C-alpha cells in the first residue's frame, strides 16, 4: 500500500533525536489520533553507536541502560584522581537496544508510518512544511528534522564566510574487548585518560568496563581533520599494551563516529520546520555530548505542542552564555593557546566532579560558573572570552 503524502507530523531522520521525540509522542494520548511519518535512508538494525551520559534521576530510557557507574577516574600526565559522582550516575545505552525498543512499539501503532528514502531537503512556509526525498514529496503540519544539509552548513561555516565559526571534529574509534583474565573494576569508569600523545591535538582514551573481563575502550580526538583509519587501531593497541602489558584480549566489536564541534549557530527552526539533534544545536560544542541535551529538547517540544505553542524552542539569554563558554574553549583549542589535556586537568583538579559535570550539562548557575572559571588560567581564558563577546 503506497504512502500518503500528507501527515500531521513528519520526523525527518530516525536517529537518536528523531526516535527520542517519537517515543514521547507514543507515550501521550494527545498524539494517538495524529498521523506521523518517519523517514530515514536506512533501517536501524545494527549497533552502530553507544551513548554515554550522566544524570541524577532515572530517565525515560532507564530500562535500556546497559551499564552504569557511580565512580569515575581521570588521568593526565600531571594529575590523576578517582571520584564518586553521586548524586550523578554515569550511564551507557547501546544504539541497537534504543532503536529496537522504540521501533518495535512504533511498528505496532496504527498512526505511525515509515519511509526508507534518501532525504534531499526540507522547506517550510507559514502553514506547512515539506520534506523532499529521492522518491517523493511529503507535507505535514510540522516537520521535525535532524538532517544536516551540507550545502547550507558548509557555506555558513567556511573560513571565507564573514564571522566564520570555529570548527573542530570529535572523532573516535572504540573496541569492545573481552580479556582472558579479570582486568577491570566494573564499578569504575575511566572517564578521560590523557596519557596518550597529543601530537594531533586534544586526545584521550576512556575505558568503560561492563564486567571484570569486558569493556569499551575508545580513542577520542578533538582536531580539525580525521586520521588515517589504521591510526585509531594503532593508538588503541598501544594503549592496551601500555596499560595492560602482556594481557590477552579479543576484539568483539568496533565502532567509529564523528561529531562536529563548532560555534556555528544552528537554527532551532523556522515556521513549521523544527530542527532536532545536532542540526538543532543540541550537541555541546566544547565536548560533543548530545544524548541528554536531546532528551531535554524533546521534553520541551512535547510540552509546547501540548500547550498549543510553537515547538521551536529558542534559547534564553542565560542559556546562551554556555554558547559563549563553548566558543571560548574552541578558540583556545583551535589557536593552541592551551591544550585540552591541561584544561580538563585543571577543571578536575581544582573543582568537584559534580560541579564539572553540572557545568558540562549546561545546568550550572551563573555564580557556579564564575567559581569554576576562576580556577582556569585567566590570562588565557579572559582574552578569549572577550574576543567572543566582541565577535
Q: Note the pLDDT tens digit of each residue in 317-366.
A: 878 899 999 999 998 998 889 999 999 999 999 999 999 999 999 999 99
Count other C-beta atoms under 10 Å from residue 187's C-beta: 11
Give the start-to-end residue ranges of the domains of the chain: 6-50+95-158+264-314, 167-261, 318-390
Q: What is the DSSP letter of 235?
A: H
Helix (H) / strand (E) element for 295: namely helix 291-306
- How far is 97 from 388, CA to CA, in rounded Å? 41
Q: E-assigned strands of 59-160?
A: 65-69, 71-75, 80-84, 89-94, 112-116, 119-124, 129-133, 137-145
pLDDT class of 65 with cuts at 50, 70, 90: very high
Q: Report the pLDDT averaged over residues 300-309.
A: 97
Predicted local distance difference test score (pLDDT) of residue 155: 47
Only one residue has cell 583509519, namely: 229
Q: Has domain 167-261 been given CATH number 3.30.9.10?
A: yes
Predicted local distance difference test score (pLDDT) of residue 251: 97
Relative to beta strand 36-40, strand 6-12 is parallel
Q: Would residue 192 be called left, alpha or beta, if left means φ above 0 and alpha means ψ between -120 and 50 degrees?
A: beta
Q: Report the pLDDT averaged over residues 189-200.
A: 96
Q: Report the pLDDT averaged over residues 98-106.
A: 97
6-50+95-158+264-314 and 167-261 share one fold: no
Q: Has domain 6-50+95-158+264-314 been given CATH number 2.40.110.10?
A: no
Asked if 178 and 309 touch (Cβ cutoff 8 Å), the reply is no
What's the pTM? 0.92
Q: Tell me: cis bond preceding 284? Omega within 30 of 0 counts.
A: no
Predicted local distance difference test score (pLDDT) of residue 152: 52
Amino acid at each position: 500500500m503506497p504512502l500518503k503524502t500528507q501527515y500531521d507530523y513528519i520526523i525527518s531522520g530516525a536517529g537518536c533525536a528523531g526516535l527520542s521525540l517519537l517515543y514521547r509522542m507514543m507515550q501521550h494520548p494527545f498524539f494517538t489520533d495524529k498521523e506521523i511519518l518517519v523517514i530515514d535512508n536506512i533501517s536501524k538494525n545494527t549497533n552502530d553507536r553507544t551513548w554515554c551520559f550522566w544524570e541524577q534521576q532515572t530517565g525515560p530510557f532507564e530500562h535500556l541502560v546497559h551499564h552504569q557507574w557511580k565512580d569515575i577516574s581521570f588521568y593526565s600526565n600531571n594529575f590523576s584522581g578517582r571520584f564518586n559522582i553521586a548524586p550523578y550516575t554515569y550511564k551507557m545505552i547501546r544504539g541497537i537496544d534504543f532503536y529496537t525498543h522504540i521501533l518495535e512499539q512504533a511498528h505496532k501503532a496504527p498512526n505511525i508510518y515509515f519511509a526508507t528514502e534518501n532525504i534531499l531537503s526540507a522547506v517550510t512556509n507559514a502553514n506547512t512544511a515539506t520534506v523532499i526525498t529521492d522518491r517523493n514529496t511529503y507535507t505535514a503540519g510540522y516537520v521535525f528534522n535532524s538532517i544536516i544539509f551540507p550545502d547550507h552548513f558548509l557555506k555558513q561555516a567556511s573560513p571565507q564566510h564573514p564571522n566564520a565559526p570555529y570548527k573542530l571534529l570529535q572523532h573516535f574509534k572504540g573496541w569492545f574487548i573481552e580479556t582472558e583474565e579479570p582486568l577491570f573494576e566494573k564499578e569504575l569508569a575511566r572517564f578521560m585518560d590523557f596519557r596518550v600523545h597529543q601530537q594531533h591535538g586534544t586526545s584521550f582514551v576512556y575505558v568503560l568496563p561492563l564486567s571484570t573481563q569486558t569493556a569499551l575502550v575508545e580513542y577520542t580526538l578533538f582536531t580539525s581533520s580525521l586520521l588515517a583509519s589504521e591510526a585509531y587501531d594503532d593508538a588503541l593497541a598501544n594503549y592496551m599494551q601500555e596499560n595492560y602489558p602482556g594481557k590477552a584480549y579479543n576484539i568483539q566489536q568496533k565502532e567509529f563516529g564523528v561529531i562536529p564541534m563548532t560555534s556555528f549557530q544552528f537554527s532551532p527552526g523556522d515556521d513549521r520546520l523544527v530542527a532536532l539533534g545536532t542540526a538543532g544545536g543540541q550537541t555541546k560544542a566544547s565536548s560533543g555530548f548530545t544524548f541528554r541535551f536531546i532528551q531535554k529538547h524533546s521534553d520541551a517540544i512535547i510540552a509546547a505542542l501540548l500547550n498549543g505553542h510553537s515547538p521551536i524552542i529558542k534559547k534564553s539569554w542565560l542559556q546562551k552564555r554556555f554558547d559563549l563558554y563553548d566558543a571560548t574553549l574552541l578558540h583556545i583549542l583551535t589557536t593552541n593557546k592551551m591544550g585540552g589535556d591541561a584544561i580538563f586537568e585543571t577543571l578536575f583538579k581544582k573543582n568537584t566532579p559534580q560541579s564539572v559535570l553540572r557545568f558540562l550539562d549546561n545546568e550550572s548557575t551563573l555564580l557556579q560558573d564564575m567559581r569554576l572559571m576562576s580556577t582556569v588560567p585567566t590570562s588565557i581564558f579572559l582574552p578569549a572570552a572577550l574576543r567572543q563577546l566582541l565577535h
